Structure 1
């Protein structure tokens, strides 16, 4: 075969493949309307379904504008990369009775998912917050999370803003290899249960360059969370970065291999926290290999806290119980800044499972107010302290 002919043939094949590899699915072509009133869930789902079937890299485009979107589930598996590009603003219904489940926007069972685009998710949660009575009502109505990722593998969530969520901003469950970066998550400090990012039963999660100000935990890592790297997070207001709460129910998977570095907490209730319930479990749960480093506290009430007597509502059950969670191999290094209470580090561990191998290395915390003095409190803790310790270490 002629060499020139073969070259031209191969070039044409490559060009043809390049033409079919990428395809844009604009929701406006499926009947979406950016008028702040029309429910666009059907149009969005039609665009998703066509893109999911495409045997190439697909982009679902939500152009600039303001779109009302009711509860929707984007489900796979899909044939290739899925790029969900939000350039406009998506608005949730303010009426909680229009939701049948606990999520507004859900992505499920997708391998290789990209969600970004610089747009905004508006949960319109002000009406819902007044309906949140779950602390006192066991039959309370569950409020929806803004965006949920369930059983996603290789996800890249980036360049978005989430405001006024009804409950959590983002939830990850059963996910693997997820990157979350360049996000801004905001809700008022008095909005209940509006966690920024909540993770459970997931491995290989990276969170970086995220600004979170909300009414609950900035980041919460629950049962089965492993291999998480958190860096360059600004948290405030909120309840800090938490592991837990854990150990309330039998069968919860262990938490392991968590690193939190180069983060700032400003005006938060807590800084770095591990919290477990006082509950008797059939099987001991383990929280291990947790490392906090290069953390700045600005006027934080509880900069460092392990609470194995967690019970947000009373009466606690069982009364006078002890935690069945074993905490071990936790290190705090280069923690500095100010606290607005009289305690810098509170390490309250379980009497039947004392915390093991807790390390404090170069801690420098001082009181926010004049004339006050910080102390540390330790109970049932085994470990060691190294370097500067201000206030004086209790282990």
Structure 2
């Protein structure tokens, strides 16, 4: 009898700790792409949030029409929740429905959130908003497709973000985040559609990802500390950019960033650091760009500390951002312009500790040129020396 009691207690313990699974279909969501499923998705979240056990929310195959969603974990019994997305989440065709929201889908105040789905698609249907923006009409700013805010231990795997209204993925104020096997797809002329944007976050990694979009493949904002990017294909797009920095006079810096084994194809830039031409307390240091291939890239390597679009709020000023300890090693391929390395640093805060090693770029089958101002450091193995 005692052994049976022990066995019962054991199985009760196992069952109480095992994960619960909730399918959005069981809450009335219809996978027809026409019926608004926002209320049903939020009902699933409310139920999952109330559980004291690990929870998986399942989105099966099909198309689910959704307005903006805010998955807030601040009142959840357990902060660790998993989303398995096998189907397609679809934003309303009318961009005005979510166009004034910051996010279409937002996860915040969570500890241990996983969103995965090999075959799962987030279709923001942003093309009509792009058309509005390029026409010069008065349009909404547009919503970021999916954001993670004020969270830790975040995993995003296997998802495809399609035609975002604005940014595709945003990581803001998070710690310990991993994105792997993600795809970003948007037209090369789509405005403000950064693939992955990181800011005010630490210990973030991006692996085995393909990004084709109309703005930066990855943009790295102030307050980023400890970012690892590896095995990424970028193009079309504006490259991998640290910045723009220095938009505010008081700003956190960017540090400890490694970009490794990345292929840039037909992009506007490759490895880029940019800052506004105005005073700021920010900085960028301990940056590594390693083993990168450039295929017909306009600016394969560029530091621009005189960023001043439309000459607004910064004419005749210089950047206060301090850029130091930046390594470019084994960067090779083809430049679409004559100047393959352009380091345009600030006269007030010159770039220091720049290292160019084994940078081999060609322009029309000849070594590409370099143009450097207010930049100091060491170079080795360059086709065009005397830059630093």
Match of 2:56 in 1: 59
- Does the 8 Å CA contact 1:366/1:391 hold for their aligned counterparts? no
Equivalent residue, structure 2, for 1:374: 368
Question: What's 1:70 paired with?
Answer: 67
Q: CA deviation at 1:317?
A: 2.2
Matched residue, 1:160: 159
Give the structure 2 partner of residue 194 of structure 1. Answer: 193
Secondary structure class of the residue paired with 2:49: helix
Q: Is the 8 A contact 1:225 1:254 kept in 2?
A: yes
> Offset at 1:338?
0.8
1:108 aligns with 2:104: no
The aligned runs of 1:122-141 (5 Å cut-off) are 122-132=123-133, 141=140
Query: 2: distance between equivalents of 1:17 and 1:184?
Result: 40
Match of residue 285 from structure 1? 282
1:85 positional shift: 0.8
Given that residues 365 and 391 in structure 1 are in contact (C-alpha distance below 8 angstroms), is that contact kept between their aligned partners in structure 2?
no
CA distance in 2, matches of 1:93, 1:359: 48
1:235-384 equivalences in 2 (<5 Å): 235-281=234-280, 284-312=281-309, 314-367=310-363, 369=364, 374-384=368-378
Whole-Å separation in 1 of the counterparts to 2:302 and 2:235: 17
**CA deviations over 1:302-338 (Å, ceiling 9, x no partner):** 00000001123x2332312100100001011111111
Contact 1:344 1:391 in 2 (8 A): no
Q: Does structure 2 retain, via aligned residues, the 8 Å contact 1:133–1:140? A: no
- Deviation, structure 1 residue 15: 2.0
Preserved contact between residue 308 and residue 315 of structure 2 (Cα < 8 Å)? no
Please, what is the CA RMSD of the aligned residues?
1.7
Q: Distance in 2 between matches of 1:116 and 1:63?
A: 12
Count residues in correspondence: 383
Question: Given that residues 247 and 324 in structure 1 are in contact (C-alpha distance below 8 angstroms), is that contact kept between their aligned partners in structure 2?
Answer: yes
**8 Å Cα contact 2:279/2:321 also seen in 1:** no
With the length of structure 2 as denominator, give the TM-score of the two structures: 0.95
What secondary structure sits across from 1:188 in the alignment?
coil
- 1:374 Cα deviation from its structure 2 partner: 1.6
Q: Which residue of 2 aligns with 1:93?
A: 92
2:43 to 11, 29, 46: 46
- Kindly indicate whether residue 386 of structure 2 is the aligned counterpart of residue 390 of structure 1: no
Change (3 A) 1:349 1:183: same
Whole-angstrom distance in 2 between the partners of 1:342 and 1:146:
37
Does the CA contact (< 8 Å) of 1:94 and 1:128 recur in 2? no
CA contact (8 A) 2:72 2:109 kept: yes
| Cα displacement (A) at 1:9 | 3.7
* CA distance, structure 2, for counterparts of residue 236 and residue 216 of structure 1: 10
Deviation at 1:5, TM superposition (A): 2.9
Partner secondary structure for residue 159 of structure 2: strand
2:180 corresponds to which residue?
181
| Distance (Å, rounded) in 2 between the aligned partners of 1:10 and 1:168 | 54
Give distance in 1, aligned partners of 2:129 and 2:249: 31
Match of 2:11 among 6, 10, 15: 15
User: Using the alignment, how far apart are the partners of 1:14 and 1:33 within structure 2?
Assistant: 39
SS of corresponding position for 1:322: coil
TM-score (norm 1): 0.93
- Which among 77, 80, 83 is matched to residue 79 of structure 1? 77
Return the offset for 1:392: 2.6
After TM superposition, which residue ranges in structure 1, 4 or more long, deviate above 3 angstroms? Answer: 8-11
